[in-house]
Amino acid sequence: MKNLISTLIILFGIFSLQAQDIEAGKVLFKSNCAACHTVGKGKLTGPDLKNVSDRVSPEWIHAFVKNSTAVIESGDAYAVKLFNDYNKTIMTAHPHLSDGDIDNIIAYIGDASVAVVPVTPSGGTQVLNDGTMPVINDTAQSAIDMPVVVMVFWASVVLISAVLISLALIVVRLLK
């Protein structure tokens, strides 16, 4: 019984440690990416990375960050388009970044991509230049004042905790 509970606690701890860390991603972004990229502030040497996860998969991002030349040379259509759109400039390879580091950067970009909505004096919401309504992240208009990524993370932690506790109780009853 004690071994089962210890195992469940260890598994929960491992799951918690694997979650993306937005703050670590912010630090990594500023030290490795910000010289060439922005999140929602337009193009620099490289493209604006706002909502990049909507354009490509995390696996693609990992491969491109670690070695963009290899992705371009593989004939990947999006990589070739970026290469051509940015004056055939090769992105610096970052083989020193671990998969966890890149996941943290992706989490930070996702969090930073959430727009803070200015409220007009009449109380209405402003419409962006592309005609879309931005995400509301304002305490006066939002029931929860936290980024969506953080909210989803904590909801997952609570759900998995409930499942693990339920499983532990079932196993205890079966062992009696």
Residue 62: inside a domain, yes or no? Answer: yes
Question: What six digits make up the tokens of 154?
Answer: 């904590």
pLDDT at 143: 44
Residue 39: inside a domain, yes or no? Answer: yes
pLDDT at 122 over 80: no
Question: What six digits make up the tokens of 89?
Answer: 């400039």
CA–CA separation, 21 and 42 (whole Å): 24
Give 126-160 pLDDT, tens digit per residue: 555 555 555 554 444 444 445 666 667 777 888 88
Question: What six digits make up the tokens of 141?
Answer: 């208009």
Residue 134: inside a domain, yes or no? Answer: no
Amino acid letter, 55: R
Q: Which domain holds residue 86?
A: 21-113
Residue 137: inside a domain, yes or no? Answer: no
Average pLDDT over residues 47-71: 95
pLDDT at 78: 95
Tally of domains within the chain: 1
Q: Look up the CATH number of the domain holding residue 91.
A: 1.10.760.10
Give 24-55 pLDDT, tens digit per residue: 999 999 999 999 999 999 999 999 999 999 99
Whether the CA torsion 4, 9, 14, 19 is positive or negative: it is: positive
Question: What six digits make up the tokens of 107?
Answer: 């989490």
Count of CA atoms in the C-beta half-sphere (13 A) of 135 = 14
The pTM of this model reads: 0.57
